[in-house]
Structure 1
Amino acid sequence: MAAAVGAGLAVTGNARQPQGVAPAGRMHTRPIPSSGEALGVIGVGTWQTFDAGPGEAERAPLREVLQVLFAAGGSVIDSSPMYGRSEEVAGDLLAGLKAHDRAFVATKVWTRGRDEGIAQMRRSMQLLRDERIELMQVHNLVDWRTHLRTLRAWKAEGRIRYLGITHYTSSAYDELESVMRSEKPDFVQLNYSLADRAAERRLLPLAAERGIAVLVNQPFGGGGLLRELAGTPLPGWAGDIGCTSWAQVLLKYALGHPAVTCVIPGTSRPRHMADNCRAGTGVIPDEDMRKQMTAWWDKR
């Protein structure tokens, strides 16, 4: 068997609704293990891409990016205080679209100290124009013990719905693994791609074992993989999983791992958002197809 729809997948038009079946072409969803809530499998990251000024010329394409995401059935928007004006821009656009109820907003705490962390998270809520954040994550594990204590209290109080930890490099995997084992966060966010498969060895199996949702960052290797593959014809097997672009191939590879909940490539271009969203529809690679994909990559 070359490929199949991945285990645990469903399709729905709204991440806040129960899993169900939506019209053909809609985005697959996967459940958050700690709650069963369904999330569209493609979201959007805002690092660099949403760090825009106040002008309409700069913000109009970003508004359309969000509209494309929502229309496709996606909802996850990931940001951080580290990302310049991205939180402010996302908050303004969501308010203008009256779309906070369609968005699963994830941001991060990126500082040291309890009081500093609380102040930063309150500021994020102001910028995002939301009194309750869906997912608050400890960015790059900075002072994670301190912040997880705060986040557990905030979750109990209803200020956030989920808590998580993040990193973007495999050099932090030992520490990520330790925190996943000792704390069992709702989410872990990590780097994973066809060219960077280290997470497959321990972290993705551990997430599945512990019931931790996985957000994948850098599925394009920070954009480097798309530049590297530019001009390379798609292999014949790409059509077997419904791919018409390299972006779709790379995203479908990540989605082929059953522990992955949602992939969050960054973009500021609506047509790229639409292309990314198509990766969340149709056939998802099974293990046999993923082996074929990795064999092709390693031999190219």
Structure 2
Amino acid sequence: MIGLMTGATAMNRREALRMIALAAAGLSPGLSSAASGAVQGPVQGAASMTTRKIPSSGEALPIIGLGTWQTFDVGPGAAERAPLQEVLQEFAALGGRLIDSSPMYGNSEKVAGDIIAKLNLREKLFIATKVWTSGKQDGIAQMNSSMEKLRARPIDLMQVHNLLDVETHLATLREWKQQGIVRHIGVTHYTGSAHDDVARVITKHPVDFIQINYSVGEREAEQRLLPLAREKGVAVIANRPFAGGDLFRRVRAKPLPAWAAEIGCTSWAQLLLKFVVSHPAMTCAIPATSKLEHLRDNMKAGYGRMPDQKMRAMIVSEAM
């Protein structure tokens, strides 16, 4: 670390601190990606996470993001928030950008917004949340409240949560996008049984994002929805990338396959995440965690070589 700081005269302070964070997380400089459709960020002596472009805007997002369901739903106490502050600080230091929340997630929006402001991270992050109510005026009130809690106006992405009153809210969001109140709009769902409904929405309406369940254990989206999103130029966020934790229960007693090292994976979490983000339609996966060691492990999945189709099939076979 001393040598790294000495070399900081040849780079800016931010890059030096980023290299320290990478070293602390066990990430080595100089990694590259072979992911289909991936875009490499500038490598200035430190590794850059693989990114994917949002089709509608061309903006690049790192492929590993951060969810806040359950994990950020804590009280105002410093002791409760301290681990989350560490997680968010490290997430940004390791190149993460997309953080996703919802008014459905209890205190998560408020907690995330407070920590982001405290750490002065707003300009580094791509902040997403949702509207989860019925009626135009209630939707407007809730979205304004969410932006206030997250201290993000304009907000980077506003999504209709679980398609609730989707026609009403998308009409508002289209107006808001034109006015610059929101930068991107989208819809979400967390069950495979709703994928046909999501498909109907993106066929009918111009949206920038869909957020859906997709993992080794929940692959229904491969049949129609992911190809359709790619055809329509819609970015895709994967929620439930570990199938709600079920995948960890399945692999708990299984050793990590030796061939996982070929794509730089040293844990099941990395292998399972690389399966998700290696799909050519996928933009970003958002595993949720409040633990620093899990955050560091998850982030490593955004670096290095991605599995090809043969290896993706091998991951499914080993995990299921």
TM-score (norm 1): 0.93
- What residue in structure 1 maps to residue 218 of structure 2? 196
Q: Determine whether 1:29 maps to 2:29.
A: no
Q: Which has the larger displacement, 289-298 or 203-212?
A: 289-298
- What residue in structure 1 maps to residue 305 of structure 2? 283
Q: Which has the higher contact order (CA 8 A, sep 6+)?
A: 1
Aligned to 1:224, the other structure's residue is in SS state helix
Q: Residues 140, 22 of structure 1: CA spacing in aligned structure 2 closer, same or farther, 3 A cutoff?
A: farther
Q: Determine whether 1:262 maps to 2:262.
A: no
Once the two structures are TM-superposed, the CA of residue 184 in structure 1 deviates from its matched residue by: 2.9
Q: Provide, for residues 78-119 of structure 1, a one-character-per-residue CA deviation record: whole Å limited to 9, x for no partner.
A: 000000000000000000001100110000000000000000
Please tell me whether the aligned partners of residues 277 and 285 of structure 2 are also in contact (alpha carbons under 8 angstroms).
yes
- What residue in structure 1 maps to residue 40 of structure 2? 11
Once the two structures are TM-superposed, the CA of residue 43 in structure 1 deviates from its matched residue by: 0.5
Once the two structures are TM-superposed, the CA of residue 286 in structure 1 deviates from its matched residue by: 1.4
Please tell me whether the aligned partners of residues 25 and 282 of structure 1 are also in contact (alpha carbons under 8 angstroms).
no
Q: Distance in 2 between matches of 1:254 and 1:160?
A: 27
Q: Provide, for residues 214-273 of structure 1, a one-character-per-residue CA deviation record: whole Å limited to 9, x for no partner.
A: 000001111121133223200122111111111101100001101100000010111111
- What residue in structure 2 maps to residue 63 of structure 1? 85
Any gaps of 5 or more consecutive residues in structure 1? 13-19
Please tell me whether the aligned partners of residues 61 and 284 of structure 2 are also in contact (alpha carbons under 8 angstroms).
yes
Q: Determine whether 1:236 maps to 2:236.
A: no
The 5 Å alignment of 1:1-300 reads: 5-12=34-41, 20-21=42-43, 23-298=45-320
Counterpart AA for 2:111: V
Once the two structures are TM-superposed, the CA of residue 5 in structure 1 deviates from its matched residue by: 1.3
RMSD: 1.2
- What residue in structure 1 maps to residue 4 of structure 2? none
Q: Distance in 1 between matches of 2:87 and 2:234?
A: 28
Instruction: Report % sequence identity.
Output: 56
Q: Greater CA radius of gyration, 1 or 2? A: 2
Q: Distance in 2 between matches of 1:171 and 1:186?
A: 22
Please tell me whether the aligned partners of residues 154 and 180 of structure 2 are also in contact (alpha carbons under 8 angstroms).
yes
Q: Distance in 2 between matches of 1:196 and 1:206?
A: 17
Q: Distance in 2 between matches of 1:296 and 1:231?
A: 12
Q: Distance in 2 between matches of 1:197 and 1:237?
A: 22
Q: Distance in 1 between matches of 2:181 and 2:298?
A: 31
Please tell me whether the aligned partners of residues 247 and 319 of structure 2 are also in contact (alpha carbons under 8 angstroms).
no
Please tell me whether the aligned partners of residues 35 and 278 of structure 2 are also in contact (alpha carbons under 8 angstroms).
yes
Once the two structures are TM-superposed, the CA of residue 24 in structure 1 deviates from its matched residue by: 4.8
Q: Distance in 2 between matches of 1:245 and 1:112?
A: 42
Q: Distance in 1 between matches of 2:46 and 2:38?
A: 14
The structure with the largest helix share of the pair is: 2
TM-score (norm 2): 0.88
Once the two structures are TM-superposed, the CA of residue 22 in structure 1 deviates from its matched residue by: 5.0
Please tell me whether the aligned partners of residues 72 and 277 of structure 1 are also in contact (alpha carbons under 8 angstroms).
yes
Q: Distance in 1 between matches of 2:160 and 2:43?
A: 34
Q: Distance in 1 between matches of 2:44 and 2:158?
A: 29
Aligned to 1:164, the other structure's residue is in SS state strand
Q: Residues 22, 187 of structure 1: CA spacing in aligned structure 2 closer, same or farther, 3 A cutoff?
A: farther
Q: Residues 291, 163 of structure 1: CA spacing in aligned structure 2 closer, same or farther, 3 A cutoff?
A: same
Q: Distance in 1 between matches of 2:209 and 2:94?
A: 23
